[in-house]
Structure 1
Amino acid sequence: MEYTKEELLARCNQMCKNTLMETLNIEFVDFNDHSITAKMPVNSRVHQPDGVLHGGASVALAESVGSAAAFIFLGKKDVQVRGIEIAANHVKSIREGAVFAKAEIMHKGRTTQLWQIRITDEQNNLISLVKLTTLTLYKEQP
């Protein structure tokens, strides 16, 4: 069954309930044939002590959107996706507003996938560049 853009985004956001993504106020906001984008507000809940966006919050955002993208773009319901490696370069700080994480596939293998996630601010300035490797686990059939 194919979903409309709105239905897919609603399903992704529903899956965030009672998870770290809800705690960080991550919201899936855009989707196309090649990428998915999520938004996270930047405020004191995700700050370091000196008042800028915490790198760990950026990495959590990136892994969340990259893992969701892997599940969606694999197009299989009988799988689980796990992040197995993540590397982030934080290139610009931000104190307030919002950041957007856009996940795009670099390698789509049967068992491993490589994602590039660009985290930008509201003016499209690069905040962090993240590389995520995901592993596809096939659920055992009874």
Structure 2
Amino acid sequence: MTAEHSLADDDGMDWIRRRGMGALAEKMGIEFTEFTIDRAVATMPVEGNTQPVGLLHGGAYVVLGESLGSMAANLHAGPERLAVGVDINATHTRSATSGIVTGVCTPVHLGRSMTVHEIAVTDDQGRRCSTIRITNMIKDR
């Protein structure tokens, strides 16, 4: 286990503060609330991320999912390696129109060269709105 992994297991939120979330996640109002190798959680407001008809944009769900899954994959990869997305898919089953949505990211596979994460996104009432799966390839920096 690397020193970065040890620190992240104790305080993954500090790892995010040092690394940053990226400009897109910040513009969309994504806020991480929990971050470990086994579980990452973030919220995103519906307001400002909607389609013209007032529904949360399907792409916004995917941005939330990719932000969670890619950050989790990079935490797993460690400081000498880089995780990059190679596949993502989403199934939207409900539309959020107000409030916030919460994404919960859990690993399906944590390998040496590849990770797979599932992200369940729910609305304020805890109803699942979208299920996202992301695959990241891990490579040397």
Alignment gaps of 5+ in structure 1: none
Map of 2:76 onto structure 1: 73
Cα deviations across residues 16-46 of structure 1 (Å, max 9, x unaligned)?
A: 25x1011001111013552111110110x10
Q: 1:61 to 1:137 in 2, by over 3 A?
A: same
Map of 2:7 onto structure 1: 3
Distance 1:47 1:90 in 2: 14
Aligned pair partner of 1:98 in 86, 95, 100: 100
Normalized against structure 1, the TM-score is what?
0.87
Cα deviations across residues 55-114 of structure 1 (Å, max 9, x unaligned)?
A: 00110110000001111133x101111111001000000111001111111111211111
Normalized against structure 2, the TM-score is what?
0.88
Distance 1:48 1:22 in 2: 19
The one-letter code matched in structure 2 to 1:31 is F
The one-letter code matched in structure 2 to 1:26 is I
Cα deviations across residues 2-25 of structure 1 (Å, max 9, x unaligned)?
A: 3377842143145025x1011001
Higher mean Cα deviation, 4-13 or 129-138? 4-13
RMSD: 1.8
Aligned length: 136
Distance 1:97 1:10 in 2: 27
1:6-17 pair list within 5 angstroms = 7-13=11-17, 15-16=20-21
Q: Is the 8 A contact 2:65 2:103 kept in 1?
A: yes
Q: Is the 8 A contact 1:71 1:80 kept in 2?
A: yes
The one-letter code matched in structure 1 to 2:95 is S
Q: 1:100 to 1:5 in 2, by over 3 A?
A: farther
Aligned pair partner of 1:39 in 18, 22, 43: 43
Q: 1:79 to 1:61 in 2, by over 3 A?
A: same
1:50-89 pair list within 5 angstroms = 50-74=53-77, 76-89=78-91
Map of 1:128 onto structure 2: 130
Distance 1:11 1:41 in 2: 23
Alignment gaps of 5+ in structure 2: none
